[in-house]
Amino acid sequence: MAFTFSVELTLKRHMSKHYNVVVIGAGTGGIMTAAQLKNKKKDLRIAIIDPAETHYYQPAWTLVGAGTFDYEKTGRPMKSVIPAGCDWIQDAVTEIHPDKNGVDTVNSGHFSYDYLVASPGIQIDENGIPGLQEGLDKGIVVSNYTDPKTVWEKVQQFKGGNAVFTQPTTPIKCGGAPQKIMYLADDYWAKQGVKKDTNVVFATPGSVIFGVPDFAKTLTKVLQRKEIHFKPFYAISKIDVDKKEVHFSNAKPGDNACVINEGEGLGERLDGESTYVLPFDFLHLAPPQSAPDFIKKSPLSNGTPGGWIDVNINTLQHNGYPNVFALGDAAALPTAKTGAAIRKQAPVVAANLLAHMENTAFGDKQYEGYSSCPLVTGYGKMVLAEFKYDNVRDSDPFLSKFVDTTKENYSMWILKKYGLPYLYWNRMMKGKM
- Catalytically active residues, by annotation: 174, 373
Distance of CA 198 to the CA centre of its chain: 29
Beta-sheet pairing, 198-203 with 161-166: parallel
- The three-class DSSP label of residue 295 is helix
- Name 88's bridge partners: 48
Quickly list H helices, 15-170: 28-40, 61-64, 132-138, 148-157
Q: E strands along 207-333, which residues?
A: 229-231, 234-240, 245-250, 269-271, 275-279, 282-285, 289-290, 324-326
Identify whether the C-beta of residue 186 lies closer than 8 Å to the C-beta of residue 282: no
CB neighbour class for 258 (10 Å; exposed up to 12, middle 13-18, buried from 19): buried
Identify whether the C-beta of residue 207 lies closer than 8 Å to the C-beta of residue 382: no
CB neighbour class for 386 (10 Å; exposed up to 12, middle 13-18, buried from 19): buried
**Alpha carbon distance 262, 268 (integer Å):** 9
Query: How does DSSP classify residue 364?
Result: S
